[in-house]
Amino acid sequence: METWQDIKDFFWPAVQDSETSQIFFNSTQALAWANGALWEMGQHAQYTDLIQEQNTANGQRVYTIGSSGSAPYGVWRVEIDGEAIRATTEADVTNLGQNWETRSQIPRFYYLDGFIGGTGDLAKIALYPEPNGIYELRTYCYGVPEQVSDSADTDKLQVPQWAIYGVLWYMLAEAFMAETRRQNLETSAYYRGLYDKLLDRLQMRTASRLPKDWVFGEGGQEFTRNFWSNLPDTIPEP
């Protein structure tokens, strides 16, 4: 089982219905349940990493990541010109003093809050200090799995192959929960249990995907935020 068509081939007989007659359920419901499963699995297990690259512009503080309908769930790393910068909060930045908005140099921090409201689009990132030129901005995000559609039902589902049955169990749990003549709450609970267990395994597998039993050390003291904030743009020759 790899594609949306494979899932449909199993789902319709399992609910004792067919894709052509659609007596108890319809294609819209099936699609909504499958995409609901993909959203939930992606958000809960954070199993897809999306790397986005764009250039900064002089004087532009805020950048959009992702696109409409596929905004990433979260950001886990940001680089400027290949070097990781650190996360901060809008409150910390604004508390720096009244001149924080006019400070302009190579960005060393990013923050994600402060964008709630307005369009409601959370897929934005702000840099501090404001870029004073063109730098390569690379953002590592938890991506949204690609949604399935009947017009592309031979596309592979963006789920680890061993976990693809989770989409099916979710759909069956929803189908047997729905108020139709096929409603069977015990069966729905059975499939929900299978789905929940698989979701937990997927989360564990994703979080521990590197067989890593040791950590790299770092010489010296960890740099503090004040150190990074106070670095000049360039250090002149002695």
Partner 1 sequence: MSAVVAGTKAKLQNLLPGRIGSNNAFSDSYVEELIMAGFHEAAEACSLVVGTESVALANDTLVYDLAEPFIEITQVEWFDGSNRKGHLTCATLSDLDKMSRKWWDSTGAESEFYSLLSAPGIPETSTDAADGSRILVWRPVTDATDLSLRVTGFVCGTTTTPISEDVQRMCIVPYVLSHLNAVANPNMAAGYLAQFESGCDIVRGRFSHRYDEPTYGV
Residues that bind partner 1 (CB under 8 A): 1-2, 9-10, 13-14, 16, 42, 45, 47-51, 70, 72, 77, 79, 81-84, 138, 140, 143-147, 152, 155-163, 165, 168, 176, 184, 186-187, 189-191, 194, 198, 201-202, 205-206, 209-212, 215-218
The nearest distance, CB 159 to partner 1, in angstroms, is: 7
- First-to-last CA distance in the chain? 65
Q: Based on CB atoms, which residue is closest to partner 1, 114 or 160?
A: 160
Question: Are 179 and 115 contacting, i.e. CB atoms less than 8 angstroms apart?
Answer: no
The nearest distance, CB 216 to partner 1, in angstroms, is: 4
CA distance 195 to 62: 38
* Closest listed residue to residue 49, CA positions, set 84, 76, 83: 76
The nearest distance, CB 92 to partner 1, in angstroms, is: 21
Q: Based on CB atoms, which residue is closest to partner 1, 61 or 66?
A: 66
Query: What backbone torsions phi and psi does residue 149 show, to the nearest 5 degrees?
Result: -150, 155
Q: Can you name the residues that pair with 139 across neighbouring β-strands?
A: 52, 78
The nearest distance, CB 123 to partner 1, in angstroms, is: 12
Cis geometry, peptide bond prior to residue 129 (ω within 30 degrees of 0) = yes
